[in-house]
Amino acid sequence: MTESIGRQARAAAAPTTVITAVSPSMGPESIESHYDEALAVPGVLAEIAAGESAGAAAADRADGYVIACFGDPGLDAARELAAGPVVGIAEAAMHTATLLGRGFSVVTTLSRTVGHTWELTRRYGFERACRGVYACEIPVLDLDDPSPETVRVLTEACREAVAKDRCDSVVLGCAGMAPLGPALSQEIGVQVIDGVTAAVKLAESLVALGLRTGKQGEYAAPRPKKYSGLLSEFTI
């Protein structure tokens, strides 16, 4: 899935943008619960830390980051750690959707993630713009090389969202759905927004404008302190 997400990202990126798609070396194989998400965060932060210090020269450091899981795990912490901008794909998809009309709907994987998705709409200011969150009950890993039945179920969920919500666009609630975006859009007659490509463009834009996370308050670099046990390598 990392590879496929990387491909999506590169297809959307400007020719001069270098995309490095990495998968954390620790944590759950997929994110479908608060527990999964909480344990995905250290791996995300380790990758950010690697991106910040990569190589000797500043030229090798990442200019910005995309967190390619729809729960935007670790976004706030990543913003403290990184010098450049960090964009989550849920955040990016929702920002993008609100530029295209008044209301969007989200189609997510398991229904147990619906509550968290609404939480994100509130965190980002889009509670009102979000007209509904629909679960297709497809586990994340089934989206990797999906069966026709999986595609059919997902299409049905998108169609239901459009019919019930009269939304101006549909946001895909999982990075693994990204490759299906164009076909889904074609099928349902409404634009489908994939957070991966949306986040790549937003991150590129921020870098191009020389903008980065504000560092004078909440998102200043973490104060140096000791981390113990299993996580001692996170000591700054």
Looking at residues 78 to 137 of the shown chain, list those that interact with a second copy (rule: CB under 8 A): 79-81, 85, 87, 91, 95-96, 98-103, 111-116, 119, 122-129
Q: Where are the alpha helices (DSSP H) in 71-112?
A: 75-81, 89-98
For the beta carbon of residue 181, count every other beta carbon within 10 angstroms.
19
* Closer by beta carbon to a second copy, 56 or else 203: 203
Q: Which of residues 172-191 bind a second copy (CB under 8 A)?
A: 189-191
Nearer to a second copy, 54 or 231 (CB): 231
Among 10, 21, 32, 187, binds a second copy (CB under 8 A): 32
In which residue are the tokens 């901008």 written? 85
The answer to whether 82 and 116 are in contact (CB under 8 A) is no
163 lines the binding site for a second copy (CB under 8 A): no
- Contact segment (CB under 8 A) with a second copy among 53-61, 151-159, 171-179, 205-213 equals 205-213
Q: Is the dihedral of CA 15, 21, 235, 213 positive or negative?
A: positive
- Interface with a second copy, residue 30, by CB under 8 A: yes
The reply on whether position 234 binds a second copy by CB under 8 A is: yes
88: part of which helix (H) or strand (E)? strand 86-88
* 39/57 with CB nearer a second copy: 39
Phi, psi of 201 (to 5 degrees): -65, -40
**27 makes contact with a second copy (CB under 8 A):** yes
Compute how many other C-beta atoms are within 10 angstroms of the C-beta atom of residue 65. Answer: 24
Q: Using the rule CB under 8 A, which residue among 8, 42, 62, 133 binds a second copy?
A: 42
The stretch near a second copy (CB under 8 A) out of 1-9, 52-60, 148-156, 203-211 is 203-211
Position 56 contacts a second copy (CB under 8 A)? no
Quote the least distance from Cβ 150 to a second copy, whole Å: 17
**Crossing angle of the two packed helices 89-98 and 195-208, in degrees rounded to 10:** 90
Give least dist CB 175 to a second copy, A: 16
Parallel, antiparallel, or unpaired for β 104-108 and 169-172? parallel
Q: Is the dihedral angle over the CA atoms 38, 199, 219, 45 positive or is it negative? A: positive
